[in-house]
Amino acid sequence: MRRFALVSAVGILVLLMLLPLASGQDAELSDGLRYIALGDSIPSGNAFPTENNRPCQRSADSYAAMIGQQLASEHEADAFTFSHIACSGARIAVGEEEVIERCLDTLEPDTMDEQRDECALKWLPKQVDEAIDLLDGRQAFVTITVGANDTGWTDPLGLIALMLAADEEFGDAIDEVAADVEAALVDEIERLVSEPFVTVVVTDIYDPFNPESALFRLALAAQARIWGPESVGDEPCTGTDRDGVVHLLSCAERAEYGLQSLSAAIQRAAARFPGRAHAVSLIDAFRGHEAPEGLCGDAVPSSGETWIRDSASGGLVPFPDCFHPDTAGAQAIAEIVLDVWRAQREP
């Protein structure tokens, strides 16, 4: 009897351990497809103020919306759903409270309560919460683009300060951010792929900088003011600072290092979930399609075609954008991501 009881107890224990696995395997796949777009202003579209003045600034002229339109054309109306949750300014490697407070500080007092929930979507884990709530047993395709805001690349003053840091200090700062993004991204991908029938595609961040970027010119002007004109090197961000520290990395080399470090972190995060998560690199595709000559810099993209917006307004005094994809750039990203999605579905 004791032996029987022991065997029975072990059997029950094994059965209990297998229940979560079995429940996931036995989940029934419903017909249709749900596409969910998560991330920052690149998938949200960073709509012009005249189009959408809400915090998330979602636009029909975004790569996510273009993917949604393409997939909708391939499915029956009742067999496809697109959920655009991406939010301009979204971060992943900082806390929710900091993100929400930063968002609320930009709003008019009388709109804060109305838009507080949307401000919460500037934190990627909250977007993932929303995505999981939407899952309904259908096959789900989730895209994520995030990380640029965590590096501070969209903060010109902060970026110039980082660009003018000593070479080793700059590298350490970028590596730390990349590691934080990687760890946070692993957590969120794991939450998504723990659900049945979910496939995740994550993109890295392309190089938006004009080869002779206006930002590099600003860094050069800051160098001359802070270090003295005689201490500036041949390239922006190079030279000898007032402490006698020699800076060898140019602004362009620093931008490239930041992109490659972040891309490697995103690739490693996706690689943790083979068959369920896929990383897509946009860096090579966007080479030669950087921000155009004019507001964004002094050089013409080598291909003669830009995929980056030059300004964020069509008014009399355009505000430089020089970061977000224009219509052609968004279409290029959509096609690259769809190719990966379709390839993983092939037998």
pLDDT band at 265 (very low <50, low <70, confident <90, very high): very high
> Is 258's pLDDT higher than 70?
yes
| Residues of the chain above pLDDT 90, percent | 68
3-state class (DSSP) for residue 114:
helix
Model confidence band, residue 211 (pLDDT cutoffs 50, 70, 90)? very high
Averaged confidence pLDDT in the chain? 87
**What would the two tokens of residue 14 be?**
């094994």
User: How many Cα atoms occupy the beta-carbon half-sphere of 293 within 13 Å?
Assistant: 8
pLDDT bin (cut points 50, 70, 90) of residue 55 is confident
26 — pLDDT class (breaks 50, 70, 90): low
Q: Tell me the pairing of strands 246-247 and 239-240.
A: antiparallel
Per-residue confidence band for 33, with pLDDT thresholds at 50, 70 and 90: very high
Summarize the confidence of residues 266-287 as an average pLDDT: 96
Contact 163, 254 (CB under 8 A): yes
The string of pLDDT tens digits covering residues 105-128 is: 877 777 777 788 889 999 999 999
Residue 316 banded pLDDT, cuts 50, 70, 90? low
pLDDT at residue 313 in the model: 61
Locate 326 and state its tokens. Answer: 């224009």
pTM: 0.88
If DSSP codes are grouped into helix, strand and coil, which group holds residue 323?
coil
Does residue 4 surpass a pLDDT of 60? no
Domains of the chain: 31-152+174-208+255-345 (3.40.50.1110)
Greater confidence, 298 or 345?
298
